[in-house]
Amino acid sequence: MDTEFALRCAAALLTAAAATELSIRYALRRQLLDLPGQRRSHRLPTPRGGGIAIVIAVLGCALPLLPLSLPFRWLLGVAVGAVAAVGWWDDHRPLSARARLAIQAPAALLLAYLLLQLQMPAGLLVVAALMVLVLLSTMWSINLHNFMDGINGLLTLQASWMFALIAVLGECGLPHGLGLAPAAMAAACLGFLPFNFPRARVFMGDVGSGALGMLIAAVLWLAAWREPRWIAVGLLLGSSFFIDATATLLSRYWRGRRWYSAHREHLYQWLVRGGRSHARVVGYYMAWNGLLIAPLSLVAARNESLWPGLAAVVVAYVAGSVLWWRARLAVLAGARHRA
User: Are the C-beta atoms of residues 139 and 105 closer than 8 Å to each other?
Assistant: yes
- Is 206 annotated for ligand binding? yes
Taking the C-alpha atoms of residue 324 and residue 299, their distance in angstroms, rounded to an integer, is 24
Residue 280 makes CB contacts below 8 A (sequence gap 6+) with: 271
DSSP reduced 3-state for 33? strand
- Whether the ω angle into residue 67 lies within 30 degrees of 0, i.e. cis, is no
Taking the C-alpha atoms of residue 247 and residue 253, their distance in angstroms, rounded to an integer, is 10
Q: Is 153 left (phi over 0), alpha (psi -120 to 50) or beta?
A: left
With residue 66 as reference, give the H or E element that holds it. Answer: none
Taking the C-alpha atoms of residue 242 and residue 246, their distance in angstroms, rounded to an integer, is 6
With residue 179 as reference, give the H or E element that holds it. Answer: none
Taking the C-alpha atoms of residue 314 and residue 333, their distance in angstroms, rounded to an integer, is 29
With residue 219 as reference, give the H or E element that holds it. Answer: helix 205-226
User: Are the C-beta atoms of residues 186 and 160 closer than 8 Å to each other?
Assistant: yes
Taking the C-alpha atoms of residue 88 and residue 48, their distance in angstroms, rounded to an integer, is 10
Residue 159 makes CB contacts below 8 A (sequence gap 6+) with: 145, 185, 186, 189, 212, 215, 216
User: Are the C-beta atoms of residues 251 and 324 closer than 8 Å to each other?
Assistant: no
Residue 35 makes CB contacts below 8 A (sequence gap 6+) with: 45
Annotated binding site: 146, 206
Annotated binding site for Mg(2+): 146, 206
